Amino acid sequence: MKSLLLHIAFIFYVVVGYAQNLIPNFSFEQYSACPNSEDQVDYATGWFKCSSNSVPVNSTPDYYNSCSSDTTFGVPQNCCGFQIDHRGCGAYMGLLTFYYATTDAREHIGIQLSSPMVIGQKYFLSFYAVLGLDKLLGGDYYNVPTNNIGMRFSNVAYDASNPVPIDNFSHLNSTAVISDTVNWTKVSGSIVADSAYQFVMLGNFYDDAHTDTMYWNCPNCLNNFGYYFIDDICVSTDSLLANGGIDAIPCTVGLNELNSKKELSIYPNPLFDFCMVTLSQGEIKEVCVYDAFGKAVIKKIGIGNQTEIDFSEFPSGMYLLKVTTKNNESITKKIIKP
């Protein structure tokens, strides 16, 4: 009970505005269009690409969203893995951190802060990263774990024609190699602002000579590239928000879902044995429930606008419930069984 009250109190603390994240659309869930191809960073509201389009680099960072009808760019299923997003809000980005065939090949994304940083003010920084599936599209091209994925501030709005430099500098980076392909790793730290920075970029800002890689040792391993999903980015003067507090913030609604005027309710949530899934407008074509390892544990088809889901045989934990409507719109929610 004490833990629940503290959780509720923190949500109130965040909602009323005492804790501010300077990153708009910090979990990429607000969007103008559903992704259906690579290099569509700008579909996530406010975000843009700040790595080069020129040969030989030709960077194409990727946007993934559960609203996509193309499973190549969906959540949790996509071209580079089966990955539940960090808070169950249905979206994340994908970035290249290393490519063996091209020196210093990198992909970066950026966004303008909601307000400039204050010189002399201490800021707490964090984001979550997970290695994309080590085997791409069933082939033999294996993903190489690397270090140095991080965060960098600037007063320059870098873009594809003026890409952010690869000059071995960032304000936050993971010095450890991140090799987990299931669980999100939090990268966090703090800085004292030495400029009124207006923009933040994410990616690997270190060249190949200063980037550690962990090569796989197996007969068909080609150790081709490093590729990571990133989610839930925070820049705040509040250490609590940047160090796990962001997990308590409720998901917002993507623009396409808002315009569709469809309301999905799941009650109760958290649940014990059963929950009722209801779509207020339209009909549900399919409900699929995934466990924390991406395994589909429940699937129901052709069920009208309401259905009961039985969790009585499943252990406690976090589950992802994905509803697909007859209009092929997808809505994803996180479910907790205590």
The string of pLDDT tens digits covering residues 149-158 is 999 999 999 9
Percentages (nearest 5) of helix, strand, coil residues in the chain: 10, 35, 55
pLDDT value at position 252? 67
**DSSP H or E stretch at residue 102:** none
pLDDT value at position 17? 38
Q: What is the pTM of this model?
A: 0.73
Domains present along the chain, CATH in parentheses = 2-248 (2.60.120.260), 261-337 (2.60.40.1220)
Count other Cβ atoms within 10 Å, centred on residue 209: 8
Helix (DSSP H) and strand (DSSP E) numbers for the chain: 3, 19
The string of pLDDT tens digits covering residues 234-281 is 999 999 889 888 887 777 654 444 334 457 888 898 888 999 999 888
pLDDT value at position 181? 86
pLDDT value at position 143? 81
Distance CA 254, CA 110 (A): 19
Count other Cβ atoms within 10 Å, centred on residue 70: 12
pLDDT value at position 167? 97
pLDDT value at position 93? 98
Per-block mean pLDDT, blocks of 10 residues, the chain (338 long): 40 46 94 93 96 80 92 88 88 93 93 96 97 63 86 95 95 95 94 98 97 78 84 95 83 48 77 89 86 79 88 86 79 79
For residue 328, which amino acid is it?
A: N
